[in-house]
Amino acid sequence: MKTAIIGANGQLGSDLAKHFQRKYEVVELTHEQIEIANIDSVSTVLKTIQPDVVLNTAAYHNVPKCEDEPMKSFQVNGLGALNLAKVSNDLNFKLIHFSTDYVFDGAKESPYLEYDPPNPLNVYAATKLAGEHFVHNYAARFFIVRVSGIYGRVPCRAKGGNFVTTMIKLAKEKPLVRVVDDEILTPTPTDMIAQNTYELTRTEDFGVYHMTCQGRCSWYQFAKVIFDTLKLTTPLESCSVKDFPTPVKRPHYSVLENHNLRKINLDHMADWKEGLKHFLNGLS
């Protein structure tokens, strides 16, 4: 089986490559090698590779920049997904398209199921939802995988790191670290997403899936476990999102429930604290 991973040098893509290389022949593709917003690039590159499976982790995911550059956001997150969906039918490969918890507005205040109606609050989320619709309506063999609060060993290019490494860095550099306590999510390491994605792609159970660790926490609670586990002594203080004004609207609650994974007995995601422990052990 041949697998092409788009965005293979990214936070999620690098862990997908590591897991899929154990069983599949993997072709790692970066932005320099494929431009998903250009259907000629998508068609030419993938026709040359002739993959059985394509995993798309490419996204324009700097949320504030998406507000300033909505067309660029739509080109990558929306049209890029459409191009991959069309070519997937031409070449008959399985398409795995990664999406986000941000497609929901947080008003439900209980874990979101795959069939709950989305209501994106910002440009990034709206363009990711557009990409979902394109994949759902154009691709015959697809998995849409929504994730939440991801962090991995390879830094996120849009942010220069991840929440865990940022907390460690701030604890070393700042006299006090303040983290919001009124945004609720489920932090999930990319390594665990990669393993569960590998298992999912071996099936023909196409559709939309949520894939996060179990449980929920605020960003502050997440930070506190990081500080306690690593015995960081810098004072940690909770605060509100109102203390960091921003024009970008974000859901205050974006916990996902892995309902569809459980239906096919493939919900092998650990509790978020176990996921963090696993990640931190890998750093040492």
Contacts of 12 by beta carbon, 8 Å cutoff, 6+ apart: 57, 98, 147, 150, 152, 190, 193, 194
**Is the alpha carbon torsion for 189, 218, 63, 166 positive or negative?**
negative
Cα torsion for 132, 138, 141, 143, to the nearest 10°?
0
Q: How many Cβ atoms from other residues are within 10 Å of residue 91's Cβ? A: 16
> Out of 124, 138, 198, 253, which one is annotated catalytic?
124
Q: Is 112 a catalytic residue?
A: no
b/e sequence 57-74, b meaning 16+ C-beta within 10 Å = bbbbbbbebbbeebeebb
Question: CB of 75 within 8 A of CB of 35?
Answer: no
- Residues 128 and 240: their CA atoms lie apart, in Å, by 27
Residue 117 falls in which region: left (phi positive, over 0), alpha (psi -120 to 50) or beta: beta
Q: Which of 175, 198, 178 is nearest to 16 (CA)?
A: 198
Catalytic site positions? 124
